[in-house]
């Protein structure tokens, strides 16, 4: 942390700042220029309030111009802490392996056994590795479908059995963590729950792999801090998922932030998955955005596929028909090869 004093700051003011730093357990490194005095805080605070609060305390002083943090507000998930990529093994499928691009696919929501199995068999035949399907669905409207709950988890488990495919499914509520952990190979945390800190903390106490979706209005730094909530509790099996953010654009459901794929690779060792289905909201755009994501370095993609999108209870407009998913797999493979990976 660096504290820049205002040009009118006096010797007394400087003394005040140094004392405050020492009281909080920091060492002091001083740089006195002609116009500005810069005070560097060295070491780790012993103050029980966190660093962000200490920064605010200094910012509250009238003779302080600016307080700047030099280190990142997350550690366990940062690349500095762990330079090698994290590879998460899910029943033998290696997510985050630099040689491999993982494909997760399936319906948005588990509707019926027939619908799930038709989608699951189709995505498996096309080469997908992991089956997706929601049993607990977040919904902007309280009147829409919220998922079948445990019966849907049982259907997913049966599909896993038949097709030998791991399953990813969303856990929406902290009260359901134990139950969903009994079925899921990967827990999904949805965009609306990225900042549900009690849920993140609870999932952090398990060892179940988790895919943390980016909050639709979250910065990359906030998203990494959310991942830090999980990892700092001991669950290091965290992957991130870029699913599009809110912008002024209305043609697409969200705006896919391709920057985030490259930025996460630069800042963190965690695997990054792209979700072109929710990012675009339009089946016609999913193929192109999947290719872009893989070209940018995504470790995987998650795609919504439905045998009958016009009858889907949720997200029909962005769901691919099985044929379109076959084409997507075919089109993404050479892009993966071009960046030195295979599917
Ligand atoms: C989903 O995966 O179906 C979903 C609800 O995603 P998101 O949380 O990104 O909206
Ligand atoms: Mn969906």
User: For 217-252, what is each residue's pLDDT tens digit?
Assistant: 999 999 999 999 999 999 999 999 999 999 999 999
Closest-lying ligand to the alpha carbon of 244?
1
User: In this predicted structure, what is the pLDDT of residue 331?
Assistant: 98
Q: Is 213 close to ligand 1, i.e. is its CB under 6 Å away?
A: yes
Phi, psi for residue 268 in degrees, rounded to 5: -135, 160
E-strand ranges in the chain read 2-5, 27-32, 37-42, 64-68, 88-90, 93-95, 102-106, 130-132, 167-170, 186-189, 210-213, 238-242, 272-274, 300-304
**Atom number of ligand 1 nearest to Cα 190:** 8
Q: Is 190 close to ligand 1, i.e. is its CB under 6 Å away?
A: yes
Q: Can you list the domains of the chain with their CATH numbers? A: 2-68 (3.30.70.1140), 88-338 (3.20.20.70)
* Residue with CA nearest ligand 1 atom 8: 190
User: In this predicted structure, what is the pLDDT of residue 313?
Assistant: 95
Q: Which of 119, 192, 213 to mutate to test the pocket of ligand 1 (most atoms within 8 A of CB)?
A: 213
Dihedral sign of CA atoms 53, 216, 188, 303 in order: negative
User: In this predicted structure, what is the pLDDT of residue 191?
Assistant: 98
User: In this predicted structure, what is the pLDDT of residue 72?
Assistant: 87
Q: Residues for the chain: how many in total?
A: 343
Please tell me the distance between residue 324's alpha carbon and the centre of ligand 2 in angstroms.
Answer: 17
Please tell me the distance between residue 56's alpha carbon and the centre of ligand 1 in angstroms.
Answer: 35
User: In this predicted structure, what is the pLDDT of residue 49?
Assistant: 67
Q: Which stretches in the chain have pLDDT values below 70?
A: 45-49
């Amino acid at each position: 942390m660096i504290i820049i004093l205002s040009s009118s700051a006096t010797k007394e003011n400087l003394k005040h700042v140094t004392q405050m730093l020492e009281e909080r357990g920091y060492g002091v490194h001083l740089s006195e220029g002609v116009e500005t005095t810069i005070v560097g805080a060295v070491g780790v605070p012993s103050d029980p309030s966190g660093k962000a609060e200490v920064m605010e305390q200094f910012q509250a002083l009238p003779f302080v111009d600016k307080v700047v943090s030099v280190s990142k507000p997350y550690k366990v998930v940062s690349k500095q802490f762990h330079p090698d990529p994290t590879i998460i093994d899910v029943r033998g499928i290696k997510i985050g392996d630099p040689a491999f691009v993982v494909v997760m696919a399936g319906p948005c929501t588990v509707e019926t056994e027939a619908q799930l199995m038709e989608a699951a068999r189709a995505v498996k035949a096309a080469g997908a590795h992991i089956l997706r399907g929601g049993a607990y669905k977040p919904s902007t409207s309280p009147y829409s479908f919220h998922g079948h709950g445990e019966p849907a988890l049982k259907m997913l488990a049966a599909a896993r059995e038949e097709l030998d495919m791991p399953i990813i499914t969303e856990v929406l509520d902290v009260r359901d963590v134990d139950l969903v952990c009994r079925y899921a190979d990967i827990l999904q945390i949805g965009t609306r729950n990225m900042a549900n800190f009690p849920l993140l903390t609870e999932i952090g106490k398990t060892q179940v792999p988790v895919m943390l979706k980016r909050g639709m209005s979250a910065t990359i730094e906030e998203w990494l801090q959310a991942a830090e909530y999980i990892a700092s509790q001991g669950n290091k099996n965290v992957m991130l998922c870029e699913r599009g953010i809110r912008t002024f654009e209305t043609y697409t459901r969200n705006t896919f932030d391709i920057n985030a794929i490259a930025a996460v690779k630069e800042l963190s060792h965690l695997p990054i998955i792209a979700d072109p289905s929710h990012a675009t909201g339009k089946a016609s755009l999913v193929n192109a955005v999947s290719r872009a994501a893989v070209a940018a370095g995504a470790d995987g993609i998650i795609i919504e596929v439905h045998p009958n999108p016009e009858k889907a209870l949720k997200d029909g407009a962005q769901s691919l028909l099985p044929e379109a998913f076959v084409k997507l797999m075919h089109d993404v493979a050479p892009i993966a090869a071009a960046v030195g990976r295979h599917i």
